[in-house]
Structure 1
Amino acid sequence: MAIVVPALLLALLVALFFFAERRWPARVDRFEENVLASLLAIITFVSFTQVIARYGFNTGWSGALEFTRILFAWMILFGMGFGIKRSIHLGVDAFVRLLPAGIFRWVAVFGAFATFLYAFLLLYAAWLVLLGIDVSTNWRQTGAIGYWTFMYNLGTGLDDLRYPELLQNLFGLQERVHRWIAYLMLPIGLALLAFRAFEAMIAILRGERELVIAGHEAEELVSEHKDALKD
């Protein structure tokens, strides 16, 4: 598979999120929340049943640890962009709030742009050739898209996760689950992070939000619920 194929698919995914949010914003919110909640629920269920199986019946699933580790990584990668969208990434904003309003705004814009640049750099680093940096000879330097494409073409499997024998027989699959499936959320999560950071930057420029992080907002939230926690 050429690297352009996953790049185009990611662009299509971001476009779908962009237009869906403008048509059905509440549904997109629920979808993202349900994805994160489902991942957390599956991790909890597998971990709980694994403890019961091991300590109660001296057995267990050999791939449980690898499976939950992958899902935990998926939850983090998918949640990065969602956190920016909801302004729930914690940050320290005490210093920037001492700045004049105009400077504060541009510092906030720079923060959002830096987040976008960070995500885009990790996603696809081949554009660094424009700065005179040679990344053409090493797939590890082409970002998440290049790394995922390399794994897809290589076809190696994970260490412990196995396909069910029924699926192996029906579809002629190899024994171990393909590694590219586990790494699928890496480019997706970074693409959504870049998309959300770019959205935040535009919103800050328009005056629709203050920062890409939640600083004093989180402090106010804790203060609001302080009495409830005491009860």
Structure 2
Amino acid sequence: MSAYWPFFALLALVVVIHLVERARPGLVVMVEERILTLILAGMVLISFAQVVARYAFNSGWTGALDLTRVMFAWLILFGMSYGLKTGLHLGVDVVIRLLPRRLFRICATLGALAVFFYAVILLSADWLSIFGGQARGGAVFYWQRFFNSGLGMEMLRWPEWMSQMFGLDERVPRWLAYLILPVGLALLAYRALEASWQIATNQREAIIAGHEAEQLVADNRNSVSAED
């Protein structure tokens, strides 16, 4: 059972988020937006400082590239669940829009469930053996391997004052940098399952953004009205 503790931790995280959303619906969205904003701003500031240091002072931070890569991964993996929750993901819905309303809802629900199973398979594919699947492993076991080994990043290191103050190893552990992999997929699975229920109960239309053509027409009408 000790090998499966990350799954229980992820489940606890999802339960806490669900309970907080029920108590204060806007709090989780606000926190998610703040985190994404900080990550994006941090990437910009680090890249800008690195350019200035390199071309103005002929120096720089050797771990800047690794840090921006990690932050970019966090931005994507954390942002995909936020995009699913807020309906920001793009999609092609021309064909299913031609279907009757009931069939459209069924297709939209199946699409959300497909995202859920996709995220669950990436988290761990071991359960596919029930259906005769041969795939093994997943994001959780991949992350756990680095957590157990304690390997550090090659170029990404803690500041010297942090190492001395908190007694940290010189290198930033890989498990910390890769933590967003299981967390991001767990959040994606939760948001997809949540969206499936909302679509099935007619609380939401689809997991993707509004119909592209209708949105363009609405934008054009608004721009014309503003000019008049």
Instruction: Give the TM-score normalised by the residue count of structure 2.
Output: 0.91
Identity value in percent: 49
Is residue 2:14 matched to residue 1:2? no
Which letter does structure 2 place at the counterpart of 1:131?
F
Aligned to 1:155: 150
Aligned to 2:125: 125
Aligned to 1:138: none
| Equivalent residue pairs, number | 225
Structure 2 gaps of 5+ residues are none
C-alpha separation in 1, matches of 2:191 and 2:212: 19
C-alpha separation in 1, matches of 2:127 and 2:159: 41
Change (3 A) 1:219 1:155: farther
Is residue 2:216 matched to residue 1:213? no
**Where do residues 40-119 of structure 1 align in structure 2 (5 Å cutoff)?**
40-119=40-119
C-alpha separation in 2, matches of 1:9 and 1:218: 42
Which letter does structure 1 place at the counterpart of 2:215?
E
Structure 1 segments, 4+ long, off by >4 Å, are none
C-alpha separation in 2, matches of 1:3 and 1:191: 17
Which letter does structure 2 place at the counterpart of 1:98?
L
**Among candidates 161, 177, 187, match of residue 182 of structure 2:** 187
C-alpha separation in 2, matches of 1:177 and 1:88: 33
Structure 1 position 151, deviation (Å): 0.9
Structure 1 position 171, deviation (Å): 4.3
C-alpha separation in 2, matches of 1:30 and 1:218: 30
Aligned to 2:31: 31
Structure 1 position 210, deviation (Å): 1.1
Cα RMSD of the aligned pairs, angstroms, is: 2.1
Aligned to 1:227: 223
Change (3 A) 1:191 1:170: same
Change (3 A) 1:17 1:39: same
Which letter does structure 2 place at the counterpart of 1:25?
P
Which letter does structure 2 place at the counterpart of 1:28?
V
Structure 1 gaps of 5+ residues are 136-140
Which letter does structure 1 place at the counterpart of 2:149?
L
C-alpha separation in 2, matches of 1:85 and 1:217: 18
Structure 1 position 3, deviation (Å): 2.8
Instruction: Give the TM-score normalised by the residue count of structure 1.
Output: 0.90
Which letter does structure 2 place at the counterpart of 1:202?
W
SS at match of 1:107: helix
Change (3 A) 1:49 1:209: same
Which letter does structure 2 place at the counterpart of 1:192?
L
